[in-house]
Amino acid sequence: MASRLNPYISFAGDAKQALEFYQEVFGGSLAVHTFGEFGSEAPPGHADKIMHGMLETTGGFTLMGADSPPGMERTPGNNIAVSLSGDDADELRGYWDKLSDGATVSVPLEKQMWGDVFGMCTDRFGITWMVNITGQ
């Protein structure tokens, strides 16, 4: 298998819900494993939390995530965003519509001065998404 680079997102106890939401947005196959599946090694109160989850889509996207266990620092903030870009306007608008539903939209999806259609939102799980549809 070739090397690949993909986002791995840390969540504060809601990784299962977030990954299921992203599966609704992008489709694909979701595999999740809980801390409890690995026996007595589960941190207290985390047996049903996600130790590792991976969503692989037919479009070639891979998104990974997990719940942060006790002792692992998780600092939500604005230091990362996930970007979706390309020229398939219908596909990208479909992702935008789902991701921005219930989200905080900081930049509406509209034509920008550089000629592309661009939007940015922070979803209900605190993840910032940027969608850019290449101008013609």
4-11: average pLDDT:
88
Q: What percent of the chain has pLDDT over 90?
A: 66
pLDDT greater than 70 at residue 47: yes
100 is written with which tokens? 């921005």
Amino acid 17: pLDDT: 97
pLDDT greater than 70 at residue 131: yes
pLDDT greater than 80 at residue 88: yes
Compute the distance between CA of residue 67 and CA of residue 76 in angstroms, rounded to an integer. 13
99-111: average pLDDT:
96
Is 82-133 a domain of CATH 3.30.720.110? yes
8 is written with which tokens? 């791995």
Residues of the chain with CATH 3.30.720.110: 82-133
pLDDT greater than 80 at residue 96: yes
Is 8-67 a domain of CATH 2.40.160? no
Compute the distance between CA of residue 80 and CA of residue 86 in angstroms, rounded to an integer. 20
SS3 of residue 21 by DSSP:
helix
Compute the distance between CA of residue 23 and CA of residue 12 in angstroms, rounded to an integer. 19
pLDDT greater than 80 at residue 118: yes
